[in-house]
Structure 1
């Protein structure tokens, strides 16, 4: 079957035909930044704007320029002001927002957890959690479920079991609603930040999100207390992410505040990107039944022959490709923001000190000079025989350079295992209510969720 000819175009904002006014731009950025981008963003290698709100702005789409900013001259670029104003109130000195020596300390402390050997050791608990979660759908057969919310719950269960050995305080159900609330409020760009207003002016977004943030901070405090009490009693404690961070505390390691910030980073955001990408994958495959059947056949064959989930990521190239293509069209982190520390130059482009540099996976992944039929969902782009045609810096679901996502391999393994379990048992189909619209709230979320009908696959289709 020629899968290159089989595709569909999932919902996305159409490129704007003319620039918005300043007031319109502020409204769009607050409501949904994905609707801001115009035709040049999907056609030009870069767009340099010297005047406007916040000073010089560079939108980088060219893979060579992206490599220059994120890798070759990464030392000259710090985290952008607007991005930090959104994330730092939530994550403070967590891995996503820390800079300089604080970031280096945290990255070094976490590195042992995300080695290939440790990630392979997570495969079995990932499988157990996925199977346990999938069993819940037995009570919903023939009915409608919100796949977007369900994937948030599933990935939280997996994160809790693998990185925290199941010892996170609080109830998962309340956790999911608080994640939604936090991203709905503090996860938005506040208009005052765009205008460069002083920090002492209160931001409505932060005021609205205070209770949700307090909820997560309380979870972190109680989770740490539970583990420290266990360690003090001399009970055997798992050598997991939580224990590793706590043992890294000290003058030559992490401060207590840094430990807390990194825990909230992983509890609050560490699973969210994978959850969104899983939801979009299931939706896209429901809209492309022929491709879904091929993936079901691949999953059935691998599960019948290979019980070890460690080997599924390499053994299911079609499943992996479907997930990667979903991340192309709906990048979990749709923007990467940097700021030039000193004057810089790339080719014939001058980048003055203080320039805000936007690397937008949303537009790079849909750029007409980089992709064939970029708006179409076509997993065959990522089939093994086609992967070499994709430049490393035109596909950025996990970022690039020194600050590339530390959990990228973890997420890929988790996603393939979750899809294998769910799709070996069930089918998820769209309903008249399934009308997702991508909205940027830190991650690329489907507005209104993903209501879908769940049914059991026929018995003779199961391994």
Structure 2
């Protein structure tokens, strides 16, 4: 008989039962868009609605999602509000570029993120994770803000793997700088909802201009450092992401501005998704003893066997499942926004027809999709068992979108998965992370799904540092 307790239900907004007023929509979108959605968004396959004068189709049906993001992706461009929020930060980086600019950027960075190439980063990921774990050595029973810590860890891994440790940072407060940037710049302003042109000032973002200028300065200094090295010692310069981008600049490749935008995208946002997902995973596991027991047994066995870190992703099904379940409950990118270029129509397998008018905004929201009552058993509960190999076939490809789908699927998905499993393996092999009375995170949508109030966990040692390499 299964005597395990009911699975942990981590904090999340309760679906609304009463539609919000227009003023409440503005307030909620500015404060936390995750609190906006009502019961229909978690129960119906699609909803045609309006925000102010803008028609919006909210899509939860996996077949319709596939139609929009894959089968007829050419008919859908980036939605206006999304671009008004993100382009001031990333300009023509890979997340925000469109058309020929996006194709050039994608082609330029693709070689560094092939699965084979990504696997080559495993030992660097291991070394950086082991080095960062020393932070907790001797800190028996102390409490740490794991949200900030995972941001720092993910940054060190990104810095070492994609930039060979040569990012020209100006201080040791990188995690705080990222939080400042996303808190002030990565949120919807009322002017965005009204589709005001980009030159109209966004009062809510004025405080973020200083930190954005700081990030831009870091990028330019980083580019200058590497150019100088390529000019003086090109044969010994790292053949990494930074060098690849700089070599892609020129009349037939990327402009200097596009190179800068893509570097900023990966420094400021590329690591953020993995960092947040790692923190949410440790939080959920701390509340799920039977999951933690299974993960610790699995991790200890793999690490003590001396397995190459390249193979950890395949040899740790429970660890991978816990991370993927955290990605389900707290998707780093909680919404995917598109707009129809021309009229379109989709017919479901049962014969129902969805007409999609030109210019309608499409919202594919992993936040609601991943908690949809028609698609998931106990959708609000943390149940990594869903993602164990024997259960994965029950999950439709387009009901689970932590990395998006279609031509614009996250190019770093394999990199992120490998990084996360190696980091979790190192941290959970040596330490245990527990709840405290101060642990009261609340999910808030900015550029990613962040834990408001911090994510305080108490750290205790499980074993001393090992010689795994």
Whether these two folds match at TM > 0.5 is yes
State the match for 1:227 in structure 2: 226
TM-fit CA distance, 1:6:
5.0
Of residues 404, 412, 416, the one that matches 1:407 is 412
Q: Within 5 Å, give how 1:248-259 maps onto structure 2.
A: 248-259=248-259
Of residues 345, 357, 365, the one that matches 2:362 is 357
CA contact (8 A) 1:300 1:462 kept: no
- TM (norm. structure 2) is 0.96
Of residues 395, 398, 404, the one that matches 1:393 is 398
Change (3 A) 1:302 1:206: same
State the match for 2:336 in structure 1: 336
- TM (norm. structure 1) is 0.97
Change (3 A) 1:390 1:431: same
State the match for 2:305 in structure 1: 305
Cα distance between partner residues in 2 of 1:62 and 1:231: 50
Q: Within 5 Å, give how 1:196-275 maps onto structure 2.
A: 196-235=195-234, 236-275=236-275
Change (3 A) 1:3 1:261: farther
SS in 2 for 1:140: coil
Which range is displaced more, 93-102 or 170-179? Answer: 170-179
CA contact (8 A) 1:4 1:378 kept: no
Change (3 A) 1:172 1:64: farther
CA contact (8 A) 1:54 1:194 kept: no
State the match for 2:383 in structure 1: 378
Cα distance between partner residues in 1 of 2:98 and 2:197: 21
Change (3 A) 1:54 1:108: farther
1:23 maps to 2:23: yes
Q: CA RMSD in A?
A: 1.7
CA contact (8 A) 2:442 2:451 kept: yes
State the match for 1:285 in structure 2: 285
TM-fit CA distance, 1:205:
2.7
1:425 maps to 2:424: no
SS in 2 for 1:132: helix
SS in 2 for 1:57: strand
| CA offsets 1:291-335 (integer angstroms, 9 cap, x no match) | 101100000001111331000000000000000000000001000
Change (3 A) 1:459 1:113: closer
Cα distance between partner residues in 1 of 2:334 and 2:460: 32
Q: Within 5 Å, give how 1:108-127 maps onto structure 2.
A: 108-127=107-126
Cα distance between partner residues in 1 of 2:429 and 2:173: 29
Cα distance between partner residues in 1 of 2:467 and 2:427: 11
Change (3 A) 1:168 1:398: same
Cα distance between partner residues in 2 of 1:305 and 1:171: 41
Cα distance between partner residues in 2 of 1:460 and 1:3: 35
TM-fit CA distance, 1:255:
0.5
CA contact (8 A) 2:76 2:340 kept: yes
Cα distance between partner residues in 2 of 1:442 and 1:141: 34
Cα distance between partner residues in 2 of 1:259 and 1:63: 35
| CA offsets 1:335-376 (integer angstroms, 9 cap, x no match) | 000000000111211110000000000000000000011000
Runs of 4+ in 1 over 6 A off after TM superposition: 459-463
SS in 2 for 1:108: helix
Change (3 A) 1:345 1:2: farther
Cα distance between partner residues in 1 of 2:455 and 2:174: 19
Which range is displaced more, 304-313 or 403-412? Answer: 304-313
Cα distance between partner residues in 1 of 2:186 and 2:230: 35
CA contact (8 A) 1:300 1:461 kept: no
State the match for 2:37 in structure 1: 37
Change (3 A) 1:29 1:224: same
TM-fit CA distance, 1:3:
9.8
State the match for 2:184 in structure 1: 185
SS in 2 for 1:233: helix
Q: What stretches of structure 1 of length at least 5 have no aligned partner?
A: none
Q: What stretches of structure 2 of length at least 5 have no aligned partner?
A: 348-352
Change (3 A) 1:15 1:375: same
TM-fit CA distance, 1:174:
2.2
Aligned residue pairs total: 462
State the match for 1:450 in structure 2: 455
SS in 1 for 2:29: helix
CA contact (8 A) 1:61 1:360 kept: yes
TM-fit CA distance, 1:115:
1.1
